[in-house]
Structure formats: C-alpha cells, structure tokens
Structure 1
Amino acid sequence: MNKPGPLRLERDGAVLILSNTDAPWNRMSFAYMDALEQAVQQAAADPDVRVLLFTSDGLDNFSVGMDLKQLVREGADRGGFEAILDQRRRVLGMIEALDKPSIATLYGNCLGGGLELPLACHFRLAAEQGAQIGLPELELGTVPAWGGSVRLTRCIGRERALEMILRARKIDGPEALRIGLVQWLHPLAELKAAALALAHELAEKPPIAVAGVLRSVVGAGDLPLEAALDAEREAVRRCFASRDQAEGMAAFMEKRKANFNGS
C-alpha cells in the first residue's frame, strides 16, 4: 500500500478540505508545508473553490506544530533556518490574504505552528473539551516564529498575548472563546461537521462581495481611515458591476433565494 501524502485534499462542492495526515500528532513537516503552499496557490486561482477548511486526521490533535527533530536533522538541506521560516511566513501570509474565507478546527494540541496556522485563518472553531491551545516556544528558548506573536496580539490584545506567550500557557476551548481567540465551540465529535456546515454557508455567499469584505476588513483593516474607506468603496464598485449584485437584488424583490455564480 502506498503511503499517503502529508496533505490530503478533498472537494465537497465549493469547499476545499485540507487535512494533515500525520495522525496522531499531525506535525507540520517540510513535505506538509510544501504541499500546503502548492494547494493554497492553486485554490486561490480556482474560481470553483470558494472556501478553504483546514483540519487534520483523527480527533487527537490538530497539530503540535513544526517537526523539531526534522528541523535539526534536515534543516541545512532545506536552505537553513531562514529559508524555512521564509516559507512558513509566506504560506500563512497567503492564507490570511485569500479572497476566500478560511476556517480552522482546533482540538487536542494546537501548539506553535498548530496555532499560528489557525491565527492566519478568518474563522476558528474549537472543541468544547480537550483542546490545549498555545504558543509555548519560550520553553524552547525562542519566540513564535511564523507570525504567532503578531497575529495573537491583534486577535486577543497585547496583555493577554503577553500572558500566554511569556508564561508559555496553554488554554482550553472555553477560555479561547471567552478571550476572542475562537468564534465557536462544539463537542469534539461534532466539530468537523460544524466547520464544514459553516464552510458551505459561506460558499453560498456572492464570491465578489465576499472578496470585497475580506479586502476591506482584513486587507485594509489596519490602514488609516480614509485609505480603508477607499478600499471599501472600491469593493462596492466591483459588486455593482457584477451579475451577482443584480441577482441578489432580483432575488430580494422576488422573495426567493439568490443563486450567486461569482460573475
């Protein structure tokens, strides 16, 4: 039997499900990151993919992050530490900048890169019980290296981010919900189904308008006010030049469900 690749891609309608196959730990190996980079690039260019859902095999752990033994053993062959970090920063930046919603499931250990990837996503769902979420890099004598300290701070605020990172503290799902790190909690057995249901809900929205919202909220959210308002105005222009906007208006007037096709 052929060994499965490090990343399994499945299509469920307009949803692309990207699963780490290194159960039970689901480490983010070099091969996983290579496959992830290629998959995200292809999904960004594929109009039939409207939502990306990041998860992992099994129900033990989303991911314990980078394979540290592989880093020590093979890092030089990958161009050294800087090249490795460059790729991981690049891939997470691509996910964050997507014009399509991205969703991550957090369960079991979500540590280091296993939290940094979800932080680059637009939506995060966590298990009600059993999740251990954190950036424990200080225990290894270093700091989060894939944008985790920056994105965590922007997500939950400076004081909470400092407390989590400097104490290398791991939090559970309910606390993650309370501080705004995740948007929803679900029983572990229902978590992946809930994430897929959310993905399908988002996939039914008008793609041009969704892209406009993501550009305005994520892409322009940190710009000065006038520049951000200009970005929003451009998103509105694109919508009103689209057939989807006409379809949405017609569906509203005719009291029916709109059928958006991304044109």
Structure 2
Amino acid sequence: MTTTTERERTLVNYSVSDGVAIIELTNPPANTYSYEMMRQLDEAILQARFDESVHVLVLRGAGERFFCAGADISMLNSVSPTYKYYFCLHANETLLRLEQTPKLVIAALNGHTVGGGLEIALACDIRIARRNAGKIGLPEVSLGVLPGTGGTQRLARALPKNKAIELMTEGKLISFEEAQELGLVNYIYESENYWEQVIAYAKRFCPPNSASRTVGRIKRAVQSGAEVALAEGLALERELQQLCFQSEDAKEGLAAYIEKRQEKHFTGR
C-alpha cells in the first residue's frame, strides 16, 4: 500500500531535451515499481503525449545496474489480494497508454530488465540494450505467480508461442545478446557513451531529421492494426495515410523527391 512518505518521493524523473522526453524510473537499488511509481509513470506518459515539442519518448532506469526489476515484492507481500488486483489493472492501463501513444517510444535497457521491467520494455517500440549490462526475462513463476503486467500477452506476440511459454514457464533469464537473436532487443550499444548513443538514435526521429508525426502514425497503424482483422487494419492504415497526405512533412518529402534534393527539412507538422 502507498505510504505518505512514498507519495512525497519522486519515483519517475521527467525532462525534455531537443524533442526527446526522457522518463527515468528511479527507486534504488533495482528501480522496482509500486502503485505510486506507476501513477507517476502514467502522468509522465500523458505529459509527453500532450507536449507538442516532444517527438520521441525514451525510458531508462536510474543508475547502471537495473533498468527495472519489476514490482516491489515486499509491497506485494504486504497488501490484500484486492489491492494487488487493482494495482495490476492500473499497471496494465498505464502500459497500454504507453503502447498506444502515437509517438515513438524507446526503452534504454541500461541494466537488468526482469519481471515487470521487461513487461514495461515490451510496451515500448524499440529496445536498445547496453552490452554486458545484465539479464532479461520473466521469472515470476519462481514466485508462484504469472507475469501479470502484460507479459503473457506481449511476449507471446513478440515471439513464437512455444518460445514465449518456454521462457516464462522455465523462468529463464537470458543475456541481451540472446534476446537480440530472438528479436526482443533491437540494438546493443557498447557501454562507453551508451546514453549518448541512445539519445543520438532518438534524435534521428525528431524534426528536421524525420517526419515525426508520420513515425507516430506508422507506430499507431502497427500497434492498433495488429489487434484487429486485416480489413479493419487496412481501413485504419488508409485513414492514417490520409492524415499524412495532408501534412506539411508529406509535401516536403514529396517535393524533395521530385526536385532530387537529398536535404529535407521536416517540421513535425
């Protein structure tokens, strides 16, 4: 249960730099989350959504050892089953909001990414790990519970079902390199200048380098379209394409192609 002291703590740091919203989970030593942290994460996601100067979101964990080790087990052990249910429900709603936000979301896996930490990362669009920085997996079965913040659903959508079941029922923790081979991790960056490399990658999707709203609409088409029948997915794609056609960035991109210009100046509008 959330205490007065916890309500007063900052558990999620939020800042914006050059079009990138940086959301940092901060609860040492393992950046475990409580209901209050999820409330603050939810607020940060909404703040980034409504901020027109934000084009990309980057999530990371404070420190170098953990991205996030999941839910605070001591908290879960002390609260009622009803509280646990609503805690999981709100966490699910928060990660759905993150997943459905029409802006690219990058998870910077700077350390161990296990349990609910991986469930948060699975709700992001791109996952970039730091080499030799930790393990990744959903070991909840060892506690007698299942991955209850979207893990059973998102992992089974990210991997073949048999592989997802294997990882969850065996509670396997694997290296970032193994995760990349499975497709769970997009990139692995060297530890030296890791964060600078992540931010440089994120800025590739910000104006003037990229048509950021189009990037967000591609994400929306994939995330929402994957959950409906093909005909409905195609209808969503057409509507989003029409919004792109009406944008200043589409005019700029098409004109640059016709004029054989390599340089494009996108505005995110």
Return the alpha-carbon distance in structure 1 between the equivalents of residues 96 and 262 of structure 2: 38
Note if 1:25 corresponds to 2:30: yes
**Corresponding residue for residue 178 of structure 1:** 181
Note if 1:42 corresponds to 2:47: yes
Note if 1:80 corresponds to 2:86: no
Query: TM-score, with normalisation over the residues of structure 1?
Result: 0.92
Instruction: Give the unaligned 5+ runs of structure 1.
Output: none
Return the alpha-carbon distance in structure 1 between the equivalents of residues 267 and 82 of structure 2: 43
Deviations 1:148-205 (A, max 9, x none): 1110111111111111100000000110000101111112333322221121111232
After TM superposition, the runs of 4+ consecutive aligned structure 1 residues lying more than 3 A away are none
Deviations 1:128-165 (A, max 9, x none): 21321011110000100001111011111111111110
**Corresponding residue for residue 268 of structure 2:** 262
Return the alpha-carbon distance in structure 2 between the equivalents of residues 193 and 173 of structure 1: 19
| Paired letter, 1:19 | E
The secondary structure found in structure 2 opposite 1:26 is: coil
The secondary structure found in structure 2 opposite 1:96 is: helix
Note if 1:165 corresponds to 2:168: yes
Q: Is the 8 A contact 2:21 2:56 kept in 1?
A: yes
Cα RMSD after superposing both structures: 1.8
Q: Is the 8 A contact 2:60 2:110 kept in 1?
A: no
**Corresponding residue for residue 15 of structure 2:** 10
Note if 1:119 corresponds to 2:122: yes
Instruction: Give the unaligned 5+ runs of structure 2.
Output: 1-7
The secondary structure found in structure 2 opposite 1:27 is: coil
Return the alpha-carbon distance in structure 2 between the equivalents of residues 63 and 216 of structure 1: 28
Return the alpha-carbon distance in structure 2 between the equivalents of residues 188 and 181 of structure 1: 19
Give the alignment of 1:186-197 within 5 angstroms.
186-197=189-200
* Distance 1:50-1:79 versus aligned 2 partners, 3 A rule: farther
The secondary structure found in structure 2 opposite 1:145 is: coil
**Corresponding residue for residue 97 of structure 1:** 100
Q: Is the 8 A contact 1:208 1:238 kept in 2?
A: no
**Corresponding residue for residue 212 of structure 1:** 217
* Displacement of 1:258: 2.3
Aligned length: 259
Deviations 1:79-138 (A, max 9, x none): 611110111000100111110000102243211111000000000011221321011110
**Corresponding residue for residue 60 of structure 1:** 65
| Paired letter, 2:95 | L
The secondary structure found in structure 1 opposite 2:113 is: strand
